[in-house]
Amino acid sequence: MMKKIDSYVERVSWERIHMTLTLVTAEAVPENTAFYLIGDGNNAEAAFQVAGRDGCRVELKLNVTNSGINRCVKNGTYKLLLTDEESVYSVAGYRGTAAGLEGWGRSFRYLGNKGVYTIAFMLDEYSEETELQLLFYNAVMRNIGHMPPNGEKESFGQRVRKKCRAKGKDWMRRTLHRWKERVYRIIRRHHKPGNYLLFMSEQDDKLALNMQAILKRMAQRGVDKQFDIHYSLRRATSGGRTVKNSIHQLLCVARADIIVVDDHIPLFDWMELDKATRVIQIWHAGAGFKGVGYSRWGHHGCPGPFSCHRQYTYSISGSTPISHFFSEQFGILDEQVIPTGMPRMDEYLDEKNRAEVTGRLRRDYPAINGRRVILFAPTYRGRNRMNAYYPYELIDFERLYQLCCQKDAVVLFKMHPWVPGEVPIRPEHADRFISMNSYPNINELFYVTDLLITDYSSSMYEYSLMRKPMLAFVYDKVQYAASRGFHRDYDSNVPGRVCTTFDELLDAIANEDFQSEKLEAYIQHHFDHTDTHNCDRVIDWLILDELPQSYRAALEQKRAEAMAIRHKHFAFLDEAEAN
């Protein structure tokens, strides 16, 4: 028997791209009640996740950038349906004021304000029952040429100049994109599936550590002989694009059966890859705090609704509990993130390598011997590689030097590779301050480090396994959270003391107040594996496509559930509307 339960949305809250509705019902709904976003024709667009229950209150959560098929909720006007699909149903209403609805919505700007994705709430003005409606709308803004005042005629020259201005770089870029897509499709049409493996980066013209580790292990096992391995490596973000390397990149991508990437690939933001191409993201950062991709939607530099990240077949993570950080930022399913561990950790955790590197560092840098070693390794500030910097004026080098003398310590400065120039070390401080900017592998420095000072960098991830103290110097934590965004609470997740001023930092070093008790819980949360087989898992599970059945089955089930939801049609709503 059909039964309707009165219900209304009491409030809406947001956590980045996650919308949570607090639904109040006249009576407690059955446990098997499902909650759907219903669009035109009474068809389901997505299902809400039940985040909590308390009597007649239910917390419903939805990631607005992923409706279950790695796409944003599509444009449309929706309502919230409660149903067990047999007897109980209710379309959620609203009991507040019109002004109250205005504060519930959100607008996420993207691609340098060229587009905006908006979620708004309103009431159905044609319904007598104050049904709540949710409007999802993606608006892409386009350049509009100058319109002359009424009565003013444009000359031929003015019209030509206006057209050129209106077209401009965007028109040239779109034209180039169309030609690239045509070339890609032609090559793919004649492509025979094989073993073409492409390692690709747009951030550097040399292989990053994760890629180096995978290739080295493939060679050790002889697995590399099974593939035709190619490379497309360039510093595109800092002006490294040329016609030659762009053609090379396109040809490599069009021929590739498997593509391994470690960062954002702009080409994939607009060119949809063949579904047969397997794309594996081995993200360079283990588990930092900086908002990336869809975790920072609405902030400068965030992706559009369709982006490179949507095209990943798999991504990797260090543990199951942190996998959702990666799925959120890439706009993919949790089940597509596989906790293989980071490939570069294998060599790092190898005891023989640790002994050899430690000995070499102590020979090459005798100033560290017999002293406490402090490693200062923050991330960069600025938008990208072209304008990256670090505000050295915040460091009181004289006071830090005096403290080093008291503690018999030496400071190694290892700035982010994007920060240009050298650390401003004065000659009188050179006996205790050493710039390690040219040193290629920061992980090796962790072997001889007694105290790490960092900020939002993922370096704390690898360093934590040394089980040695660390401090976070985050003078701009509030501004950074507001502009760049975090994908989790910062203070409670840092495995050490958080310092917001340089005075606090010096006090923490002087008093050895590191809050190291946080460390063990951090390690347990962030690492499923602390062995030296991360590369093997990436190679076997993802490159050789021998994913364990448990992961494959979970992913297939999730995809099947998402498609089943989108094929649901609620006929009883048709009947109710007809009556």
**pLDDT for the residue numbered 359:** 96
Alpha helices in 493-548 (DSSP H): 502-511, 519-526, 534-537
Query: Which CATH number fits the domain that encloses residue 358?
Result: 3.40.50.12580
Distance CA 195, CA 193 (A): 7
**Average pLDDT of every residue of the chain:** 89
DSSP letter at 269? G
**Do 239 and 362 share a domain, yes or no?**
no
Query: Which CATH number fits the domain that encloses residue 8?
Result: 2.60.40
Q: Torsions phi, psi of 243, nearest 5?
A: -60, -40
**pLDDT for the residue numbered 146:** 36
Asked whether residue 522 is assigned to any structural domain, the reply reads yes
**Do 196 and 299 share a domain, yes or no?**
yes
CA proximity to 384, closest of 558, 507, 467, 266: 266
**Do 50 and 111 share a domain, yes or no?**
yes
pLDDT over 50 at 273, yes or no:
yes
Q: For the full predicted model, state whether its pTM sits above 0.95.
A: no
Q: Which residue's structure tokens are 């890629």?
A: 211
Contact 339, 317 (CB under 8 A): yes
Asked whether residue 211 is assigned to any structural domain, the reply reads yes
pLDDT in tens, 422-458: 999 999 999 999 999 999 899 999 999 999 999 988 8
> Could you tell me the residue range of the domain that residue 209 belongs to?
192-329
Structure token pair of residue 266: 């702009």
**Do 92 and 164 share a domain, yes or no?**
no
How far from the centroid of its chain's Cα atoms is residue 30's Cα? 36
**Do 501 and 392 share a domain, yes or no?**
yes
Asked whether residue 50 is assigned to any structural domain, the reply reads yes
pLDDT in tens, 543-578: 999 999 999 999 999 999 999 999 998 888 877 777
Asked whether residue 555 is assigned to any structural domain, the reply reads no
**Do 426 and 373 share a domain, yes or no?**
yes
Distance CA 457, CA 459 (A): 5
pLDDT over 70 at 511, yes or no:
yes
Percent of the chain with pLDDT over 70: 91
By the 10 Å C-beta count (0-12 exposed, 13-18 middle, 19+ buried), 461 is classed as buried
pLDDT over 60 at 45, yes or no:
yes
Last residue of a domain, one of 503, 526, 549: 526
**Do 430 and 445 share a domain, yes or no?**
yes
Query: Which CATH number fits the domain that encloses residue 227?
Result: 3.40.50
**Do 514 and 394 share a domain, yes or no?**
yes
Q: For the chain, what is the largest distance between any 2 Cα atoms, rounded to a whole number of angstroms?
A: 88
Asked whether residue 202 is assigned to any structural domain, the reply reads yes
**Do 110 and 33 share a domain, yes or no?**
yes
**Do 29 and 137 share a domain, yes or no?**
yes
pLDDT over 80 at 32, yes or no:
yes
Contact 154, 162 (CB under 8 A): yes
Structure token pair of residue 536: 């093997």
| pLDDT band per the 50, 70, 90 thresholds, residue 329 | very high
Asked whether residue 178 is assigned to any structural domain, the reply reads yes
Pairing of strands 409-413, 433-435: parallel
pLDDT in tens, 350-378: 999 999 999 999 999 999 999 999 999 99
Asked whether residue 288 is assigned to any structural domain, the reply reads yes
Contact 284, 319 (CB under 8 A): no
Last residue of a domain, one of 297, 329, 361: 329
Asked whether residue 338 is assigned to any structural domain, the reply reads no
3-state helix, strand, coil in the chain (%, to 5): 40, 25, 40
**Do 311 and 392 share a domain, yes or no?**
no
Q: How many domains does the chain have?
A: 4
Distance CA 575, CA 579 (A): 6
Phi-psi region of 301 (alpha: psi -120 to 50; beta: other; left: phi over 0): left
Last residue of a domain, one of 278, 295, 329: 329
Minimum mean pLDDT range among 71-75, 478-482, 489-493 = 478-482
**pLDDT for the residue numbered 485:** 64
pLDDT in tens, 92-143: 999 887 778 888 999 999 988 889 999 999 987 666 667 899 999 998 864 4
**Do 262 and 391 share a domain, yes or no?**
no
pLDDT in tens, 8-27: 999 999 999 999 999 999 99
